[in-house]
Amino acid sequence: MKPFLAEEMEPGADVQSDDGLLQFCRTAGATVYHPVGTCSMGTGSDSVVTPELKVRGINGLRIADGSIMPRLVSGNTNAAIVMIGEKASDLILSDAK
pLDDT greater than 80 at residue 34: no
Catalytic residues: 34
Sign of the Cα pseudo-torsion (41, 43, 49, 51, in order): positive
CA distance linking residue 83 with residue 89, whole number of Å: 10
Question: Pick from 11, 8, 33: which is nearest to 22 by CA?
Answer: 11
Query: Quick one: average pLDDT of 78-82?
Result: 93
The pTM is what? 0.63
Say which amino acid occupies 34: H
Return the closest-CA partner of residue 45 out of 33, 56, 30, 35.
56
How many residues in the chain?
A: 97
pLDDT band (50, 70, 90) for residue 83: very high
